[in-house]
């Protein structure tokens, strides 16, 4: 199940379900809540996410764009080897920095 925790002004979305079509409605709801903040600062913690499918990749891309349009940003953190490979094999790899851990990703917003 996915949930959102605040670390300062940054929303950290974490979960242990796949980031795929079956679980996207819950993640979208959390993201929509985070996008209400100005500027939105979101970290998606992928540590326990076992898999990302095409719909999940599209959600990541759309969320990044929505954050940027609102003057914010979204970062990815702690991707397991499979999720890291999935992301790096797509054009998304050029659009995201894959942080090794959540703390570093959250800290990137302070720069």
Mean pLDDT for the chain overall: 94
Collect all residues with Cβ–Cβ distance below 8 Å to 84 and sequence separation of at least 6.
Answer: 98
For residue range 84-103, list pLDDT tens digits in order: 999 999 988 888 889 999 99
Domains annotated for the chain, with CATH where assigned, are 3-103 (3.30.750.24)
SS3 91: helix
pLDDT at residue 83, as a whole number: 96
- The pTM of the full predicted model, rounded to 2 decimals, is 0.94
Whether the CB-CB separation of 71 and 65 falls below 8 Å is answered with no
In the predicted structure, residue 111 carries a pLDDT above the cut 80: no
């Amino acid at each position: 199940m996915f949930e959102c925790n605040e670390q300062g002004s940054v929303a950290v979305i974490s979960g242990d379900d796949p980031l795929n079509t079956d679980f996207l409605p819950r993640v979208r709801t959390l993201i929509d809540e985070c996008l209400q903040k100005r500027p939105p600062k979101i970290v998606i913690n992928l540590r326990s996410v076992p898999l990302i499918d095409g719909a999940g990749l599209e959600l990541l891309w759309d969320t990044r764009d929505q954050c940027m349009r609102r003057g914010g940003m979204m970062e990815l953190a702690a991707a397991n080897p499979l999720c890291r490979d999935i992301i790096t094999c797509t054009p998304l790899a050029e659009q995201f920095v894959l942080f090794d851990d959540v703390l570093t990703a959250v800290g990137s917003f302070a720069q």
